[in-house]
Amino acid sequence: MLKAALCGNPNCGKTTLYNRLTGQRQPVGNWAGVTVDKAEGVLRTAGGELLLLDLPGVYSLSAFSMEEEAARRILLEEEPAVLINIVDGTNLERNLYLSLQLLELRRPMVIAVNMMDEIQRQGGKLDCALLGKALGVPVLPVSARSGEGVEALCAAVFRLARQGKTPPAPVYDPAAGGALREIGRLIDGACRTLHYPALFYAARLLGGEKAAARELGLPAGTADKIEEISKRCAAPFGGNQAALLAGARYRLIDAAVDRALQRGSRRREWSERIDALLLHRLLALPIFLGMMGAVFSLTFGPVGRTLKGGLEALTAWTGDFALRRLAAAGAPGWIQSLLTDAVIGGVGGVLAFLPQILLLFLFLSLLEDSGYMARAAFMMDRLLRGLGLSGKSFIPMLMGFGCTTPAIMATRALDNERDRQLTILLLPFMSCGARLPIYALFSSVFFPGREGITVFSMYLLGMAVAVLCGLCLKKATLHQEDALFLMELPPYRIPTLNNTLLHMWEKGKGFLWKAGTVIFSMNVVLWLLQHLTPGLQPVQDPSESLFGAFGRLISPLLRPLGFGEWQPAVALLAGLIAKESVVSTLSMLYGAANMEALSAAIASHFTPLSALSFMTFCLLYMPCISAFVTLCRELGSIRKGILAAWFQTGVAYAVSFLVYSFGLLSSLNR
C-alpha cells in the first residue's frame, strides 16, 4: 500500500486531521508534544487506499529534539509516496518554515492550511491558490475540527500519489542558494546511496548541524571544506551560519504570505485579554496555585475520597460475597486467604485509586485542552530551568505528590528526551500519597505534638533531594547537544467533550490493565512468599516464611541505618508492591491486632532517631512496582529502569545513613 505522511508543527491540528482521515481516535491536545509515537491508519476513499502516518509535531527537521529525530527517521525509513504538510493558518510564517524543509526532500507534497475557521473568525482572508503558486505545491484550505475541506484534500492526496509529481525545490536568494549549490556539489557522491537529495543535506550542513555530517559519513577533509564554505558565505551575515539560511527561508515565506494573506483585525484578541490576567506579573502565581490546589483537593479531597470509598465498599462487598460462596462450597483455607489478601486486599486496594486517576486526568485534560497548562509551564519554566529541567517537568512533579505512576506517564508531554529522563528519575522523590500512612504512624509515636511539621519536613526533604540530584546530574550530562528551547503559548480553545472523555478513558484503560495483570500476579507471588517456608511448607509464624528468610538476609545491610531487624526489612520489601503496605506488613509481623498495639510495638523496636531514618528511607527508596513498571516503559528499557531503581535506593541509603550518623554523633556530643 502506498504511504502518506502527515507532518506539521506541534499543535497545528495534525492529530485532529489524522483522526478525521482514518476514523481513529488518537488523543488530541492543545499543547506542544502530545504525539510522541508514530501512529498509523488507513485512509479510504472512493479513489483507493493509503497508509497514513501521523508524525510527531516538529518545527524543523534538524536533529535537536527527540521528536525531530523521530520525525526525520520516519520520513527517511518509510519513504512515504506523498507528504501531507498541515500548517496552522493562524501562524502561517512559522509553520511554513518546516514546509520549505519538506520541499527540500523533493517528494510529492500537498499543503493543508488548517484552522481556516479561526482565520475567518479573526476576519482574515487567505488565497490558497496564490500561496500554492508561490511555493510550487498545491495548497488547500481545511478545518480539521469541523471537517470542512477534508474531502478535497483526500482527492488531491490520491491524485498526487498516483502521479508522483515532484514539486520544484525552493529558490533561495543568491547568497544562500550559492552556498547550498557549492556544498551540494561536495556531498553529491555521498548522497547518491541515500533516498533524499543533496539539497536536503546541504541545507542542514549549512545550518551547522553536525548530525547531518555523521549521517552522510563524510570524510574529515570534506567536512572541513564545507565548514570553510559556510563560514565564507556567512561572513556578510555576522558569521552566523544558521542566520544565513534561516534569513533566506523567511524572506521567501514573507514574500509568499504577504501576497496571499489578508490579516484579520481581531487577531487572537481573546487569548491576549485572558493572558493579561492569567499571566499577570503578580497574580499569575496565586491564580495558578489556587487552580492546582482546587484540582488536587477535588481529586484527593472529599470528591475523590468519596468515589474511592464507594469503590472500596463495592470491592469489599464483592470480596465478602465471593468468600462466603467459597466457604459454603468448602474451599480450603489457603484459597480463602489468598483471595482475601492478594486479590481483594491487593488488586482491590489498587483499583480503589481508579476514580482518583480518572478525576485527575479529567481536570488535567480540561486545563490542557483549554491552553492553560502551557501557561502554567511557561511560568514555572524559569524556576526549573536552573535545575536543568524544562518548565513542563513541573506538572509531572506536582502530580508526583498524588501518585508517582500517572506522574511518570505525564512526562510524555516533555519535548526533550533528556529532560524527560531526568524528570522520570527524580519524580519518585516527590512523596506520593501512599507514603503518608508511614509518616503518620511514626511521627505520632515518636514526635507527638509535632506530627504536622515532621510530615511536612519529609515532603520538603524529598524536594530538596530532587533539587540536589538534579543539579549534580545536570553537571554530568551538560556535554550533550543542547536543545533550542522554544516555549510557545497556544491560543485558548474551548475543550471538546469528546476529547476530554477520550483522554480519561485512555488513562483509565491502561491503569485497569495494569491492575489486572502486573499487580495481580505480583500480589499472588508475594502472598506465597509470605505464607510458605523455604521448604515450601505452609507457615504458622511469619518469621519462618520465605519472606522472613529474605528479611533476615537483608537486615544486616540496614543495620548502619538504625533499623537492622528483619521486620522492617520485610516491610520495606512489601512496600514495593505498594507503599501503603509498609504499615500493614509491620502490623502483621509484630502481631499487632490494633493501632494501639502497633504503636507500642513500634515504640519498643525503634528509637526516635531510627524512626526518622526509616521514614527517610521510605521517602526516597525505589518506588512501588506499578511505578517501577511504568518507569521502565517510559525510560524505554528495563535496564535503564533497574539502574534508576538502584540510583534511588542508593540515594535513600546514603541520606538515611547521614541522618542516622549525624543524629548519633550529635547525641554523643551532648
Q: Residue 88 Cβ, how far from Mg ion at the closest point, in Å?
A: 12
C-beta of 143 vs 356, nearer to ligand GDP? 143
Q: Is 562 in the site for ligand GDP (CB under 6 A)?
A: no
455 SS3 class: helix
Of the residues 4, 5, 7, 15, which one makes contact with ligand GDP according to CB under 6 A: 15
Q: Which of 96, 6, 9 is nearest to 486 (CA)?
A: 9
Separation between Cα atoms, residue 601 and residue 604, nearest integer Å: 5
Separation between Cα atoms, residue 31 and residue 392, nearest integer Å: 11
Joined together, the cell numbers standing for residue 371 give: 491552553
Q: Is 222 in the site for Mg ion (CB under 5 A)?
A: no
89 is in the binding site of which of Mg ion, ligand GDP, none (Cβ under 5 to 8 A by kind)?
A: none
Q: Is 8 in the site for ligand GDP (CB under 6 A)?
A: yes
C-beta of 27 vs 319, nearer to ligand GDP? 27
| Three-state SS letters, 1-35 | CCEEEEEECCCCCHHHHHHHHHCCCCCCCCCCCCC
Residue 451 burial (C-beta neighbours within 10 Å; 0-12, 13-18, 19+): middle
Q: Is 530 in the site for ligand GDP (CB under 6 A)?
A: no
Task: Give the chain's largest Cα–Cα span.
Answer: 91
C-beta of 374 vs 522, nearer to ligand GDP? 374
Separation between Cα atoms, residue 265 and residue 118, nearest integer Å: 12
Q: Residue 10 Cβ, how far from Mg ion at the closest point, in Å?
A: 8
Q: Which of 69, 39, 41 is nearest to 54 (CA)?
A: 39
User: How many residues of this chain bind ligand GDP (CB under 6 A)?
Assistant: 23
C-beta of 7 vs 360, nearer to Mg ion? 7
114 is in the binding site of which of Mg ion, ligand GDP, none (Cβ under 5 to 8 A by kind)?
A: ligand GDP
Q: Residue 29 Cβ, how far from ligand GDP at the closest point, in Å?
A: 5
143 is in the binding site of which of ligand GDP, Mg ion, none (Cβ under 5 to 8 A by kind)?
A: ligand GDP
Separation between Cα atoms, residue 346 and residue 527, nearest integer Å: 10
C-beta of 23 vs 310, nearer to Mg ion? 23
Where in 38-77 is the site for ligand GDP (CB under 6 A)? 57
Q: Residue 116 Cβ, how far from ligand GDP at the closest point, in Å?
A: 7
Helix (H) or strand (E) holding 51: strand 48-54
Which phi-psi region, left, alpha or beta, contains residue 483 (left: φ > 0; alpha: ψ -120 to 50)? Answer: beta
Q: Is 112 in the site for ligand GDP (CB under 6 A)?
A: no
C-beta of 8 vs 388, nearer to ligand GDP? 8
Joined together, the cell numbers standing for residue 343 give: 486479590
DSSP label at residue 345? I
Q: Is 34 in the site for Mg ion (CB under 5 A)?
A: yes
- Strand 3-8 to strand 82-88: parallel, antiparallel, or no bridges (unpaired)? parallel
Q: Which residues pair with 54 in a beta bridge?
A: 6, 39
Joined together, the cell numbers standing for residue 110 give: 500537498
Where in 6-25 is the site for Mg ion (CB under 5 A)? 15
Q: Which of 135, 133, 70 is nearest to 96 (CA)?
A: 135
The separation between CA 213 and the C-alpha centre of its own chain, rounded to angstroms, equals 31
Q: Is 415 in the site for ligand GDP (CB under 6 A)?
A: no
Of the residues 143, 390, 500, 587, which one makes contact with ligand GDP according to CB under 6 A: 143
Q: Is 60 in the site for Mg ion (CB under 5 A)?
A: no
**575 in Cβ contact with 585 (< 8 Å):** yes
C-beta of 15 vs 390, nearer to Mg ion? 15
CB under 6 A: which stretch of 28-36, 102-110, 326-334, 589-597 binds ligand GDP?
A: 28-36
The separation between CA 548 and the C-alpha centre of its own chain, rounded to angstroms, equals 38
Q: How far apart are the first and last CA of the chain?
A: 80
Q: Is 523 in the site for ligand GDP (CB under 6 A)?
A: no
CB under 6 A: which stretch of 25-33, 42-50, 417-425, 502-510 binds ligand GDP?
A: 25-33
**193 in Cβ contact with 218 (< 8 Å):** no
634 is in the binding site of which of ligand GDP, Mg ion, none (Cβ under 5 to 8 A by kind)?
A: none
Of the residues 68, 104, 118, 419, which one makes contact with ligand GDP according to CB under 6 A: 118
Q: Is 35 in the site for Mg ion (CB under 5 A)?
A: yes
CB under 6 A: which stretch of 40-48, 138-146, 404-412, 584-592 binds ligand GDP?
A: 138-146
Q: Which residues pair with 143 in a beta bridge?
A: 148
Cβ atoms within 10 Å of 481's Cβ, excluding its own: 12
Q: Residue 392 Cβ, how far from ligand GDP at the closest point, in Å?
A: 14
50 SS3 class: strand
CB under 6 A: which stretch of 10-18, 287-295, 376-384, 516-524 binds ligand GDP?
A: 10-18
Separation between Cα atoms, residue 394 and residue 288, nearest integer Å: 12
Q: Is 503 in the site for ligand GDP (CB under 6 A)?
A: no
Of the residues 4, 5, 7, 16, which one makes contact with ligand GDP according to CB under 6 A: 16
56 is in the binding site of which of Mg ion, ligand GDP, none (Cβ under 5 to 8 A by kind)?
A: none
**443: Cβ contacts below 8 Å, ≥ 6 apart:** 450, 451, 454, 455, 615
If you compute the radius of gyration of the chain from its CA atoms, what whole number of angstroms results? 29
Where in 321-380 is the site for ligand GDP (CB under 6 A)? 369
Site string for ligand GDP, 453-492 (x = CB under 6 A): ----------------------------------------
C-beta of 57 vs 355, nearer to ligand GDP? 57
90 is in the binding site of which of Mg ion, ligand GDP, none (Cβ under 5 to 8 A by kind)?
A: none
Separation between Cα atoms, residue 384 and residue 389, nearest integer Å: 6
Q: Is 99 in the site for ligand GDP (CB under 6 A)?
A: no
Binding stretches for ligand GDP (CB under 6 A): 8, 10-16, 28-30, 34-35, 57, 114-115, 117-118, 143-145, 369, 493
Binding stretches for Mg ion (CB under 5 A): 15, 34-35
